[in-house]
């Protein structure tokens, strides 16, 4: 690849454990190229180059309705699904239409850094709820809800990444999900589940979605083709009540621009309807499981004493907690000087200082040998910084 061909956030001649990019070898497959050809050779293929229906390309909506109903035991109708230009588009629309400037939104601590960015663009008052290995801490969520009520405030929604969480890799237990739904009904807030990693379970077993557990009541669910097909497509979907989907269809940006990415949506509809996507997902699960196993093995071998990490069962990420004597930002900078890119934890928190001792590692992009080498170098850097701290008077 030339320098201009490098994906977002990548640097030449480095090992990147930084961002959740898919393996490049999984992108332009023979099946995807065949779907492109087939989609463009159909009699009405010119429709892919026109403004599309505001709700999205009907053939893709029909496919998603069938698959979601089958996989999650739902009873969706086509008017409950909308095609979006990736999860980013969905998060931005939800923030714009459901949380006014100054309104309160609850997020996990930590959470996806770019969602924090979007919410702050909309001048939203963010309240962070801590997590453990099973998901949101329910007593703390309940405490914050009661405190908000005492202030005369109510959150517009809770934004959550329940499966193979970004950045931690953990999955919220079904018991915790049920408790969150109970509190959502009690305090009257919407649940927004960003479920873009759901298909990437290493074992193929995932807890029931918030949408399924709540029978669709008070939940918006976001999915994406970015992690399981190609991020350059900028294509995903949003599931909600008929009224909620109509609200998104009627909003100004949708009415002005029409449906999301009709050209990409026609190709993806052809790809999915030919049965290619299911086989591709199975290959991705095996691929990313292998890379996660390599990463976990390397962490066990190379990390110095006092470093801990999560044990993801799917997705792209794992989360390191450093000893209190070691800060993430100096580790990130020292690793970069040694040719390894990692993400410091600060950007994943509403209060950045809360991530002073955390690192996120992405195992999706780098080859297995590079994952091992990168973690070996990272372990050396952490060990050196730990020693230097101990040596200081």
pLDDT, tens digit, 9 for 90 and up, residues 191-242: 999 999 999 999 878 999 999 999 999 999 999 999 999 999 999 999 999 9
Predicted local confidence at residue 6, as pLDDT: 62
Predicted local confidence at residue 390, as pLDDT: 45
Domain spans of the chain, in order of start: 3-20+278-391, 30-274
The phi, psi pair for 77, rounded to 5°, reads -110, 160
d(CA 17, CA 370): 9
| DSSP code, position 369 | H
Q: What is the CATH number of domain 3-20+278-391?
A: 3.90.1150.10
* Nearest CA among 388, 386, 366 for reference residue 10: 366
Strand partners, 364: none
Predicted local confidence at residue 8, as pLDDT: 64
* Nearest CA among 7, 2, 37 for reference residue 23: 7
Instruction: Confirm if 268 and 60 have CB atoms less than 8 A apart.
Output: yes
| 317-321 vs 358-362, strand pairing mode | antiparallel
Architecture in CATH of 30-274: 3-Layer(aba) Sandwich (3.40)
How big is the chain, counted in residues?
393
Predicted local confidence at residue 389, as pLDDT: 57
Predicted local confidence at residue 234, as pLDDT: 96
Predicted local confidence at residue 393, as pLDDT: 34
Residues of the chain whose pLDDT is less than 50? Answer: 1-3, 390-393
CB neighbour burial string for 189-219, b if at least 16 within 10 angstroms, e if fewer: bbbbbbbbbbbbbbeeebbebbbbbbebebb
Structure tokens belonging to residue 272 = 């999915």
Q: pTM of the entire structure? A: 0.94
């Amino acid at each position: 690849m030339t320098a201009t061909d490098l994906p977002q956030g990548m640097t030449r001649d480095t090992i990147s454990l930084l961002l959740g990019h898919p393996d490049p070898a999984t992108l332009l497959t023979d099946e995807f190229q065949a779907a492109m050809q087939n989609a463009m050779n159909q009699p009405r293929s010119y429709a892919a180059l026109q403004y599309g229906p505001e709700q999205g390309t009907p053939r893709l909506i029909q496919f998603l309705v069938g698959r979601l109903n089958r996989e999650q035991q739902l009873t969706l109708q086509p008017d409950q699904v909308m095609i979006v230009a990736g999860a980013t588009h969905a998060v931005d629309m939800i923030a714009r239409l459901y949380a006014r400037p100054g309104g309160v939104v609850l997020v996990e601590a930590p959470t996806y850094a770019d969602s924090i960015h979007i919410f702050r663009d909309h001048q939203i008052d963010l309240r962070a709820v801590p997590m453990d290995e099973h998901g949101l801490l329910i007593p703390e969520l309940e405490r914050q809800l009661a405190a908000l009520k005492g202030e005369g405030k109510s959150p517009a929604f809770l934004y959550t990444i329940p499966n193979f969480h970004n950045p931690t890799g953990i999955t919220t237990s079904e018991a915790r999900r049920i408790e969150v739904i109970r509190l959502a009904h009690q305090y009257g807030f919407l649940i927004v589940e960003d479920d873009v990693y759901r298909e990437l379970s290493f074992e193929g077993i995932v807890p029931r979605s918030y949408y399924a557990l709540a029978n669709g009541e008070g939940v918006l669910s976001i999915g994406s083709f970015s992690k399981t097909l190609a991020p350059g497509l900028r294509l995903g979907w949003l599931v909600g009540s008929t009224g909620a989907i109509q609200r998104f269809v009627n909003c100004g940006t949708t009415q002005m621009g029409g449906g999301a990415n009709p050209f990409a949506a026609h190709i993806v509809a052809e790809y999915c309807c030919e049965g290619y996507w299911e086989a591709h997902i199975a290959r991705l699960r095996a691929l990313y499981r292998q890379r996660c196993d390599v990463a976990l093995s390397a962490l066990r071998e190379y990390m110095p004493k006092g470093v801990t990490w999560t044990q993801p069962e799917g997705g792209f990420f794992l989360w390191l907690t450093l000893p209190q004597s070691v800060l993430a930002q100096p580790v990130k900078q020292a690793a970069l000087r040694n040719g390894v890119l990692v993400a410091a934890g600060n950007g994943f928190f509403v209060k950045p200082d809360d991530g002073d001792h955390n690192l996120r590692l992405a195992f999706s992009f780098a080859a297995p040998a590079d994952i091992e080498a990168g973690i070996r170098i990272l372990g050396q850097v952490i060990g050196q910084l730990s020693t230097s701290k101990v040596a200081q008077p």
